[in-house]
Amino acid sequence: MRAGHVLALSLLLLWARLASAHEEPEELADAGVASPLPRGGLPSDAGAEPVDVDAGTSLGTTTVRGARAPHSASEVTVPQDVVQAAPKSGATDLLRLVPGLVASQHSGEGKAQQLFLRGFDAVHGQDVELLVAGLPVNEVSHVHALGYADVNWLIPDAVREVRVTEGSYRAFQGDFAVAGTVQYELGLEEPGLSAAVSYGSFNRLRLFAGVRPTEAPETFAAVEYVQGDGFGPQRAFGRVSLLGQATLKVGPARLRAVLGSAGSRFDSPGVVRQDAVDAGAGFYDAVGLRQGGSASRHQLLLGLELPHESGKTTLEVYGVLSDLRLKNDFTGFLQHPEGDGLEQQQSSGLLGARAYHRRHFHPFDSLVTLELGLGGRRDGLHQSQRGYREADGSPYRDDFSAAITQTAVNAWTEVAWQPAQWRFMLGGRLDVLHFEVKDELAFDGQGATRAAFGPHWALKAGVERALGEAWRLFLNYGDGFRSPQARSLSDGERAPFVHVRGAEVGASFLESVVDVRAALFGSHVANDFFFDHTAGTTVYVGSTLRGGAQATVSTRPVEGLFLAASLTGATAHVLESDSLLPYFAPLVGRLDAGYARAFPLWGLTWTPRLGTALTLIGPRPLPYDEFSRTVFLWDVRAALRVGRVELVLDVQNLLGSQWRDGEFVFPSAWEASAQPSLLPARHFTAGAPRQFALTLEVHL
């Protein structure tokens, strides 16, 4: 962000804030109680149009969007300058922007990250709903893990903002929104043509090109190609991703289209036994040398937005085609002398549509906001799993093969009444799921079919109170749910949902240069389970209770400087045994900071830029009263732009920490032995060592 832009943005925000005190535009209706503007951008469905502001310098044009106030203390928006401040080598770095979220990669650069949020071990997405520009990312009934959410195809440069709604307090939050919802909105920061080439440690090469027309700030097209050898054996990867978005105004209507195609191929180092490393094996070694996979995704969303006098209506249709082939082996030869490796395959086709309607009323000098959403999607997928021989990779055992059709229909509403300094919200949501499963291996390959059906009702409620200009208090309640794995259902079964009751009390302090939020949260799961995907088994643990506290601070104390920090503490207990659930992240801290300042010199505009990100992950509880090691990472970005050319130096893991990205406890047997140990042992996946990357960017 250049200095002129920062100044222009500040003036515009100040103007908007003053204007909001005297007018009642659509945005104010949605802005909550006497809200000053928070730091972030605006949800795409919130109705505000982006405004291009020519800052009057040669640096170009900055897009400034209106803002919508959060309706809980843990609704946070991460704007583009924060997203782009520190090095972002991929999806893991984008996920770490979410306060309290830990993203771990245990199978190479291409498989979905394992997520931990608010006391939940969301595995590969079962407890975190992810959307990109309105396109759902979580895959239902996925062969590898429930809610499998792969965002490796997301191009970091094209992320305009990250909107985080932690908890399940809002009615728009759907399947898998147990710990929260993360929405990535798309857009390039700078208009014109951008091209970049990066080269760094371990032969990592990245090519990027993007184009954004000045007159349509949300329209862009971008392509990214990345390849690398990885920081150890079995870590090579390559991926290509094309992503674009177009918006067009036709009279009062606004059309939006999002499209993307991506493909990747990756190797996986697997998980290494700690006792093997203690005995002399390398920290970055690999096991199970046939592990890895490939993934592809093709997607399209078409949207129509119709504003009207007191609100707007949005209609969207979307489709996603995705494929995954994955070879995993976490246990070696523990269960089968041929090898325990599993080859999983899934091909999915998703078609969906949603409608969203918002309207404002003004009874008795107060404001009432009505939001209504309707949606439906059909997921058709084919999945299979078979065992392969470690010696030659040939298959020797079929575990399952199934064709699944999963249909979901939902309707939700939120009604908010805002008398004076109060805001009362009451909402509800109905989700009905229908499953059809064809088990292709049943009855000696003749196959068997079964179907299940089930509704889920959810209540959402919130109370807000403004205290003066800056302070707001929140009290929220919400039910969330997670759909089941279709293959686990029997014929005629009323489909069971994991039902979550969550509550939160919080406060926020929003002022022009500082945004502080704090919340205490808790959630109860009646019949919880976690999927131990290293062993491929589901562990049912009964009732669980999670709780914790979160604080976020963002500030822009001086021109060109921002700081955004969060600290989350959480705990998760099994009620019956009063014991801790394993693996969740009890302490997560994150600090992003950036500074940019433009100045003229020798007839050119010079813009030095510094950015850094600190990540702290406290010890996580592991089975058998053990704890993982603390993780502390420091990433740094330094850049200098002269005119249209910019040179960027990225250093990730500046301290060169030898850290463990994931730690697990389970039995494995990698050595051929007549008496292999069957006891659970500590395993880990090594985190990336210090990495450098130099990028040359050209903006035309």
Judged by the rule CB under 8 A, the positions of this chain that interact with another protein are 548, 569-571, 573-574, 577-582, 586-587, 616, 618-627, 629-630, 632, 667, 674-675, 677-680
Residue 507 vs 622, nearer CB to another protein: 622
CB crowding 568-596: b at 16 or more within 10 Å, else e: bbbbbbbeeeeebbbbbbbbbbbbbbbbb
What residue spans of 421-532 are helical by DSSP H?
A: 442-445
313 or 571: whose CB is closer to another protein? 571
**Closest CB to another protein among 325 and 629?**
629
Nearest distance from C-beta of residue 654 to another protein, angstroms: 14
Query: Of 79 and 99, which has the nearer Cβ to another protein?
Result: 99
* 635 phi-psi bin (left φ>0, alpha ψ -120 to 50, beta other): beta
Strands (E), 440-470: 448-467
Using DSSP bridges, classify how beta strands 128-132 and 180-186 pair: parallel, antiparallel or unpaired.
parallel
The distance of closest approach from Cβ of residue 333 to another protein in the complex, given in angstroms and rounded to an integer, is 15
Tell the residue number behind the tokens 């997560």, with chain if given. 588
SS3 readout for 44-97: CCCCCCCEEEECCCCCCEEEECCCCCCCCCCEEEECHHHHHHCCCCCHHHHHCC
Residue 559's H or E segment, with its range, is none
Q: Which is nearer to another protein, 403 or 575 (CB)?
A: 575
Shortest CB 566 distance to another protein, Å: 14
Residue 620 CB, nearest distance to another protein (Å)?
8
Please tell me what DSSP assigns to residue 250.
E
Q: Which is nearer to another protein, 449 or 538 (CB)?
A: 538
Q: Which of 271, 285, 198 is nearest to 533 (CA)?
A: 271
Give the Cα separation of 554 and 562 in Å (integer): 7
Q: Shortest approach of another protein to residue 118 CB, angstroms?
A: 12
User: In 292-302, which positions are buried (b, 16+ CB within 10 angstroms) versus exposed (e)?
Assistant: bbbbbbbbebb
| Residue number, 539 or 647, with CB nearest to another protein | 539
Helix (H) / strand (E) element for 187: namely none
Of 637, 557, 694, 588, the residue nearest 84 (C-alpha)? 637
The whole-angstrom separation of Cα 114 and Cα 331 is 18
Spatial CB neighbours of 15, under 8 Å, sequence gap ≥ 6: none
CB of 270 to another protein, least distance (A): 21
Query: Hunting for tokens 């003036």 — which residue is that?
Result: 11
Which residue number, 244 or 618, has a Cβ lying nearer to another protein? 618
Strands (E), 309-421: 311-328, 342-361, 367-388, 395-418
Closer to another protein by CB, 342 or 567: give it: 567
Q: Select 560 or 589, whichever has its Cβ closest to another protein.
A: 589
Residue 88 and residue 563: Cα distance in Å, rounded? Answer: 17
Residues 6+ apart with CB under 8 A from 23: none
- Quote the least distance from Cβ 569 to another protein, whole Å: 4
Nearest distance from C-beta of residue 628 to another protein, angstroms: 10
What's the min distance (Å) between Cβ of 535 and another protein?
10
Of residues 562 and 583, the one with the C-beta less far from another protein:
583
* Closer residue to another protein in complex, CB, 250/679: 679
- Rounded to a whole number of angstroms, the minimum distance from the CB of residue 193 to another protein is 44
Choose between 214 and 335: whose C-beta lies nearer to another protein. Answer: 335
What dihedral angle (degrees, nearest 10) is formed by the CA atoms of 135, 138, 144, 145? 180
Shortest distance, position 396 Cβ to another protein, whole Å:
22
Task: Show Cβ contacts of residue 395 under 8 Å, excluding neighbours closer than 6 positions.
Answer: 343, 386, 387, 388, 389
The DSSP string of 571-628 is EEEETTTTEEPSS--SEEEEEEEEEE--EEETTEEEEEEEEEEEEEEPPPEETTTEEP
Q: Minimum distance between the CB of residue 622 and another protein, rounded to whole angstroms?
A: 7
Q: How far is the CB of 639 from another protein (least distance, A)?
A: 28
